[in-house]
Amino acid sequence: MRHGGGEASRPIVTRAEPSASPARTERTDRRPGPDPGPPATRPGRVDECGLLVFVSEGDFNKAGAKLEARPECEGEWNTGVPGNPTEEDARRPGIRTGRSDSPNQWKYDGDTKFDLWSLAPKLPDVANGDQIATGLFTPVLEFTIPGYSQVIPAEGEQGEVRFDSAAYNKRAQLGSVFPDATPALRYDRSDTSDPSAPVEPYLGVAAVADHIGDALEDPGSTYPTKSDKNLSGGNSLNPMHRLAKSAGADELSRYNANSRAKDSACGSPAMPGKPGPDEKLDCDEFPMASTYEGAARATHEGDQYANGFSVRYIDWVENREAGRRLDSWYDNDRILNHDPFVIVIGD
């Protein structure tokens, strides 16, 4: 930080670390307090922008010295968003816009918070598609030191927020997430059902975890058979992508095609493990029908994907419980149509 040819004595060493909780999904309801926009407002909250002040001596202790932390924002809309949304509507500061205090006050309490907002051009409706905006924010630190006419500001690490409006999300049609990490749903092989659990039977997903885990570990052992079979969904370099059947007619048609292709494979004379007359089993498929990597992928994307899935007869209770958890997770973690995700299999 320079003023003319001189230098401020003993600079402040700071660290700006924007973080948010939970890791992926942010608030999906409207915030209390002053209303910054129309009913289509989507908030994103960045919590606890921490500044760790190691030294505050010399000119930084002068009366009137200030350190301001605030967000610097930019944003854009995805292609196809209806109306004429502006970049300002894609992202804008919310109710809390940072903090300005003396260096000593920052040293005592090094936290501040700021909000980001996005104003959807249309109310959530399947006809309007997924109205998605991306907001980039950078914590900026600006110093005011008496006697110095120019102090170079410092910046923290840039963060990204995705704002979205998805009419098919049952939990909340408006919301925001931090999209940097590929979201993952975990099923455990040890998560077995317990019909004698207190209060009500416990429904596990062990049968589904076994099927998916085996398919990812050894895809060549799965049915239908295929040489050099490679299944998506086990890691972020080869994820699955959500197919939201309620997103439109094309999505519903492809979802139904996945289900028909799965049923055809399960009914094949060569299908192993078919249930006996007194057994109640479901035919489980992986990747799931609710993904673009589902059983009908070859019909839409080419013959190279023929038989690029796995089916297995498993316990019907655990199969349907796994489906319920998946549907809830899609909503809670705001996994939109075409969003990548993976399944993690635990012990």
pLDDT digits (tens, 9 = 90+) for 285-335: 999 999 999 999 999 999 999 999 999 999 999 999 999 999 999 999 999
Q: Is the pLDDT of residue 27 over 50?
A: no
Closest residue by Cα to residue 60 from 121, 126, 128, 146: 146
Mean pLDDT of 252-266: 98
Mean pLDDT of 177-197: 94
Residue 264 main-chain phi, psi, to 5 deg: -65, -45
Specify burial of residue 42 (Cβ count, 10 A radius: 0-12, 13-18, 19+): buried
**For position 98, what pLDDT does the model report?**
86
**For position 49, what pLDDT does the model report?**
58
Mean pLDDT of 133-154: 84
Q: What's the predicted TM-score (pTM) here?
A: 0.82
**Mean of the per-residue pLDDT values for the chain?**
84
Give me 194's structure tokens.
């317990």
Q: Is the pLDDT of residue 41 over 60?
A: no
- Residue 17 vs residue 168, higher pLDDT: 168
Reported as a pLDDT band with limits 50, 70 and 90, residue 239 is: very high
Reported as a pLDDT band with limits 50, 70 and 90, residue 192 is: very high
